[in-house]
Amino acid sequence: MAIKQKFIHFFFTLLFLSSHLLLVTCKNADDSEVEDESPFTYEEGTGKGPKNWGHIDPQWQVCDNGKLQSPIDLLDERAQIFPGLGKLKRGYKPAAAVLKNRGHDISVEWRGDAGKIVANGTDYKVLQCHWHSPSEHTLNGTRHNLELHIVHRSSSGGIAVVGILYEIGRPDSFLAKLLHHIKRADEGDIIDLGVVSPGDIKFGSRKYYRYIGSLTVPPCTEGVLWTIVKKVRTVSREQIRAIRDVVHDGFEANARPLQQENGRQVYLYRPIA
């Protein structure tokens, strides 16, 4: 038992240090993500598609030559099961929020303190969430209909993103509360939502994948601590259609293609029964 505990401690230390060493260049999530979508698109053949992102702006070169890029395919057969990662600790709370149509996606941004998650012993404050359709990550080779990213930042500037995948089925309860706002959000609009709790976002499972990757939009900053919930939840066709209809032309399908794993280890947390 003592040996196992020492190994778990070593693993946590190694993962913690590696993630934070990679994150030192990332000041905060909002600064790192592109707000103006005009320089890039998701359509290949336009000269501004994903294959060209690294050549559009000198600060985006890592989109092309980075070795820790996201998204990736999450394969159960290659994931290392590691219960020692522990349950993802969520400490979310209601706070003032706005809905933004950023042109390339729809996001909810918290203006007050909406709480945090704790990952690898580090607190990450929740900043915003946004949607990609279809999903960016794939599970065992399957691409799903939608992916939600919940973006967090630590006091040292580290970025941690929680991803939740969705397939067509019953409406998602969190999106249901936002749907009428989404439908009227023209490009560039910022709509006051009042008080919103990120705790209303349903995870549905304690199982998750964990790996080190990057932002999935330019500038593709690396060193992001990714947590992808294993359970695939459901979303209605109407909800996906609303998200797609209001974004700028060329961003209706706003999923970056899969990136090379480059030998990275993916861990799977599965609670001990």
Domain with residue 188: its CATH number is: 3.10.200.10
DSSP 222: E
**pLDDT by residue (tens digit) across 151-194?**
999 999 999 999 999 999 999 999 999 999 999 999 889 999 99
Compute the distance between CA of residue 48 and CA of residue 84 in angstroms, rounded to an integer.
Answer: 42
Q: Which of 20, 55, 104, 248 is catalytic?
A: 104
pLDDT for the residue numbered 39: 86
Q: Is 121 left (phi over 0), alpha (psi -120 to 50) or beta?
A: left
Q: Which residue has the tokens 């404050």?
A: 125
Long-range contacts of 143-150 (CB under 8 A, 24+ apart): 143/255, 144/232, 145/235, 145/240, 146/235, 146/239, 146/240, 146/243, 147/255, 148/201, 149/216, 150/126, 150/198, 150/201
Per-residue pLDDT, averaged over 6-19, amounts to: 45
In a domain, 228, yes or no: yes
Greater pLDDT, 217 or 29: 217
Per-residue pLDDT, averaged over 9-35, amounts to: 45
Compute the distance between CA of residue 1 and CA of residue 23 in angstroms, rounded to an integer.
Answer: 33
In a domain, 152, yes or no: yes
Range(s) of the domain holding residue 176: 61-269
pLDDT for the residue numbered 248: 83
pLDDT of 105 > 60? The answer is yes
Q: How many independent structural domains does the chain possess?
A: 1
In a domain, 74, yes or no: yes
In a domain, 31, yes or no: no
| CA R_g for the chain | 18
Grouping H, G, I as helix, E, B as strand and the rest as coil, residue 191 is: strand
249 Cβ partners below 8 Å, 6+ apart? none
In a domain, 239, yes or no: yes
Report residue 35's pLDDT band, with 50, 70 and 90 as the boundaries: low
Q: How far is CA 11 from the centre of its chain?
A: 23
Compute the distance between CA of residue 99 and CA of residue 14 in angstroms, rounded to an integer.
Answer: 37
pLDDT for the residue numbered 250: 75
**150: how many CB neighbours lie within 10 A of its CB?**
24
Per-residue pLDDT, averaged over 107-131, amounts to: 96
Grouping H, G, I as helix, E, B as strand and the rest as coil, residue 139 is: strand
pLDDT for the residue numbered 187: 86
Report residue 119's pLDDT band, with 50, 70 and 90 as the boundaries: very high
Considering only 103-107, 138-142, 249-253, 257-261, which range has the smallest mean pLDDT? 249-253
pLDDT of 124 > 80? The answer is yes
Dig out the tokens for 82 from the structure.
């590691």
pLDDT for the residue numbered 259: 98
In a domain, 49, yes or no: no
Could you tell me what percent of the chain has a pLDDT over 70? 86
pLDDT for the residue numbered 249: 78
Q: In degrees to the nearest 10, what's the CA dihedral of 39, 214, 121, 7?
A: -170
The mean predicted confidence, pLDDT, of the chain is 89
In a domain, 217, yes or no: yes
Report residue 41's pLDDT band, with 50, 70 and 90 as the boundaries: very high
In a domain, 149, yes or no: yes
Catalytic (active site) residue 248: no
